[in-house]
Structure 1
Amino acid sequence: MSAHAGDSIKIIAVNRKARHYYEIQDTMEAGMVLTGPEVKSLRGGKINFKDGYVRFSGNFEAFLCGVHISPYENASSDQDPDRERKLLLHEHQIRTWKAKTEQKGLTVVPMKIYLKRGKMKLEIGLAKGKNVHDRKDALKERDLDREAKREKDRYK
Structure 2
Amino acid sequence: MVGRKSLKTDHCPSARSLDVIGDWWSLLIVRDAFDGMTRFGEFQKSLGIAKNILTDRLRTLVARGILEAVPTGETGTRSAYRLTPVGRDLFPVMVALRQFGERHLFTADEAHSVLVDRESGRPVHLEVRAEDGRLVGPDDTVIRKVPADG
- What band does the TM-score fall into relative to the shorter chain? under 0.3
More strand by share: 1
More helix by share: 2
User: Scaled by the length of structure 1, what TM-score is found?
Assistant: 0.23
